[in-house]
Amino acid sequence: MPFKVAAPMPQTLSISLAANLPDPVAAIVLYANGDGAMGPVAADIWKRTGLDFARIAKATGFAGRPGHMIDIPAPSGMSCDRLLLLGRGADGEGENDAAWADRGGSLFAKLDAAAVSSAAIVLDEPGLTPALVGALGAGAQLRAYRFEKYNTRRKSKTVHPSALTFVLAKPDAMKSAVDHALAVAGGTNLARDLVSEPANLLGPSDMADVANTLADLGVTVEVLDEEQMGALGMGAMLAVGQGSVRPPRMVVMQWNGGEKGQTPTAFVGKGIVFDTGGISIKPAASMENMKGDMGGAAAVLGLMQALATRKAKVNAVGILALAENMPDANAYRPGDVVTAMSGETIEIISTDAEGRLVLADALWYCQDRFKPRAMFDIATLTGAIRIALGDDYAGVFTNTDSLAATLQQAGRASGEKVWHLPIGPAYDKLIESRFADIKNQGGRLGGASIAGQFLAHFVNDVPWAHVDIAGTGFGKASSETITSWATGFGVALFDRLIRDNYENGK
Ligand code: BES
Ligand code: MN
Ligand code: ZN
């Protein structure tokens, strides 16, 4: 029995905005710097405790840095159980969204550790913007994320904060930015769920079912089956899927929140629900991680949910190339020659270089049908990108250098960082084939660029960029906003890219 999802995914943490302190509330949070400087509302609340800030700060080592905390139980002059003073850093330091998302993550962690059920967070610092408040909420939502549905005995039993109220002067002026940020965090958490879901419970058609639930939000969803893909000539996509008893699917989603007839921006995700390597089978060690080889498709799905939830004023296309790469009597093999939808023939050298094959047909189909103004793909594509960049930066490869700069900017703002690496004709020599137009593997050196250059053959000169998330998609060391195995990388990056470059008539 595959798992069933409800759309949209329930949020574990509710975040609301208010002009006044809620009463009752389990905890009140104030931000202060090392000198005890607070905003006016916070300073007023602090004064009611009658406590000596300087003395407490000295005794506890509180220097007002992010992550520093003074925890006061049963404070006098107020009805809450806890008063928490959190460090806000020096003025002007870390004032971008990514820094405030980290602050939100840290906030949730402190409240969680203090085992309070609800908290009011006083936000009255100078320079506060709606976007920063949104980032704070999103960071908390991301830190609250757990994937424990199959840990029947180990579910966390402690009280987590289930409600946060941000207390600020003009809640109405903040609301739409906060809704936006929470929609994106919801998309990231959906992507995380899908990446963590095991392959026995999430096959290609199950993931298509999840995509179909976005119809409730106004997304148009089409699912192509093997027969339809065959009629379109998607020989590369079908070859990858033919070794699995669960046939491949291509999902086509459209969110039309922009002006009617506006050329769409397109996003394509690699969705290998499990990558055994196929006949070129992978070593057994860590193969279980390959349930996450649909991380690109999960990010595109999460992105579409976020765009629809926040009613983004953009026309966006999301395509998922879903297949399972299995060894089998019917599996494709090294030496096979397949014909992609573009008409180009591909000699298979390794059946483990399957991601570029499914993307070849998905990218060609996307540009052919939608003529997008720009096209982005996201994929757990190569082990080589992990060697090159580690797990903090995703790799970007493009036929249009300005797109790399744009993505890098979106990465800095969202905290999902990327780095530009080369593609180009130099890499073509490595994928020349004796028996076909091109081959799907070109040796170990420069493996991530070779894969990128392979993809470039299937974009037909549309402005395009490829994001390799084999390092960043899962298994990452934890951060203030990520404590789960799956990261959901790509949702926030692409949402920011859209917001800054393609939305609202841009
Ligand atoms: N899904 C893998 C890449 C991967 C590796 C993602 C580790 C996440 C973690 C991809 O399909 C693959 O197997 N790539 C091969 C390509 C090679 C055969 C040209 C690789 O990187 O070794
Ligand atoms: Mn592979
Ligand atoms: Zn793969």
Residues 183-192: tens digit of each pLDDT: 999 999 999 9
Looking at per-residue pLDDT, the higher value among 153 and 343 belongs to: 343
Q: Measured from the CA of 350, which atom of ligand 1 is nearest?
A: 18
Check if the beta carbon of residue 243 is closer than 8 Å to that of residue 323.
no
Q: Which residues are CB-neighbours of 357 under 8 A, at least 6 positions away? A: 236, 237, 239, 240, 338, 340, 346, 348, 440
pLDDT, tens only, 33-80: 999 999 999 999 999 999 999 999 999 999 999 889 999 999 988 889
From 468, 427, 488, 469, select the one nearest 141 (Cα to Cα): 488
d(CA 268, CA 246) in angstroms, rounded, equals: 21
- Would you state the structure tokens that stand for residue 16, as one six-digit string? 């609301």
Q: What is the mean pLDDT of residues 113-136?
A: 94
Closest among 323, 334, 353 to 470, alpha carbons compared:
353
The full set of domain ranges for the chain reads: 14-167, 198-501
Query: Which pLDDT value is given to residue 334?
Result: 99
Distance 351 CA to ligand 1 centre (A): 10
The pLDDT of residue 287 is above 90: yes
- Ligand 1 atom nearest the C-alpha of 447 is 19
Cα 46–chain centre separation: 38
**Among 288, 293, 389, 431, which is best to mutate for testing ligand 1, by the most ligand atoms less than 8 A from CB?**
293
- Which atom of ligand 1 is the closest one to the Cα of 473? 8
Q: Is the CB of 218 under 6 A from ligand 1?
A: no
**What is residue 157's predicted lDDT score, i.e. its pLDDT?**
60
Whether residue 122 contacts residue 167, with contact meaning beta carbons closer than 8 Å, is answered with yes
Tell me which residue has its CA closest to atom 3 in ligand 1.
382
- Residue 160 burial (10 A CB sphere; 0-12, 13-18, 19+): middle
Note the pLDDT of residue 12. Answer: 78
> Residues 370-374: what's their mean pLDDT?
98
Q: Which CATH architecture has domain 14-167?
A: 3-Layer(aba) Sandwich (3.40)
Alpha carbons within 13 A on the beta-carbon side of 209: 12
What does pLDDT average to over the chain? 95
Q: Which of 97, 108, 85 is nearest to 34 (CA)?
A: 85
What residues have CB less than 8 Å from 349, skipping those under 6 apart? 334, 439, 440, 441
Q: Tell whether the model's pLDDT for residue 446 goes beyond 60.
A: yes
Question: 483 exposed, middle or buried (CB, 10 Å; 0-12, 13-18, 19+)?
Answer: middle
Q: In the prediction, which pLDDT does 158 show? A: 63
- pLDDT surpasses 80 at 218: yes
Which residues participate in catalysis according to the annotation? Answer: 282, 356
> What is the average pLDDT across 464-493?
97
> Does residue 491 surpass a pLDDT of 90?
yes
- State the pLDDT at residue 7: 47
* Whole-number Å distance between alpha carbons of 232 and 215: 24
With helix as H, strand as E and coil as C, how does 335-361 read?
CCEEECCCCCEEECCCCCCCHHHHHHH
Q: What is the dihedral of CA 339, 342, 344, 349, to 10 degrees?
A: -60
Integer Cα distance of 150 and 279 in angstroms: 31
Q: Calculate what percentage of the chain has a pLDDT beyond 90.
A: 91
Please give the span between the terminal C-alpha atoms of the chain, in angstroms, as a whole number: 45
pLDDT at 10: 53
Please give the pLDDT value at position 8. 47
Say yes or no to pLDDT of 9 above 60: no
Q: What share of the chain in percent tops pLDDT 70?
A: 97
Pairwise CA distance, residues 250 & 321, whole Å? 5
Buried/exposed code over 172-205 (b: 16+ C-beta within 10 A; e: otherwise): eebeebbbbbbbbbbbbbbbbbbbbbebeebbbb
Whole-model pTM: value is: 0.97
Asked if the domains 14-167 and 198-501 are classified in one and the same CATH topology, the answer is: no
CA 464 to chain centroid: 19
CATH topology of domain 198-501: Aminopeptidase (3.40.630)
Q: How far apart are CA 40 and CA 21, in angstroms?
A: 14
Determine contact, residues 481/415, Cβ cutoff 8 Å.
yes
Q: Is the CB of 470 under 6 A from ligand 1?
A: yes
Across the range 461-488, mean pLDDT stands at 96
CB of 416 within 6 A of ligand 1: the answer is no
Q: How many residues does the chain have?
A: 506
Answer whether residue 310 shows pLDDT above 60: yes
Best mutation site among 290, 349, 352, 454 for ligand 1, i.e. most ligand atoms within 8 A of its Cβ?
Answer: 352
Residue 270 pLDDT > 60? yes
Establish whether residue 354 lines the binding site of ligand 1, counting it when its CB lies within 6 angstroms of any ligand atom. yes
The lowest-confidence range among 120-129, 216-225, 296-305 is 120-129
- Residue 6: the pLDDT is 53
Q: For the residues 225-251, what does the mean pLDDT come to?
A: 98
Would you say the CB of residue 377 lies under 6 angstroms from ligand 1?
no
- Answer yes or no: is the C-beta of 275 below 6 A from any ligand 1 atom: yes
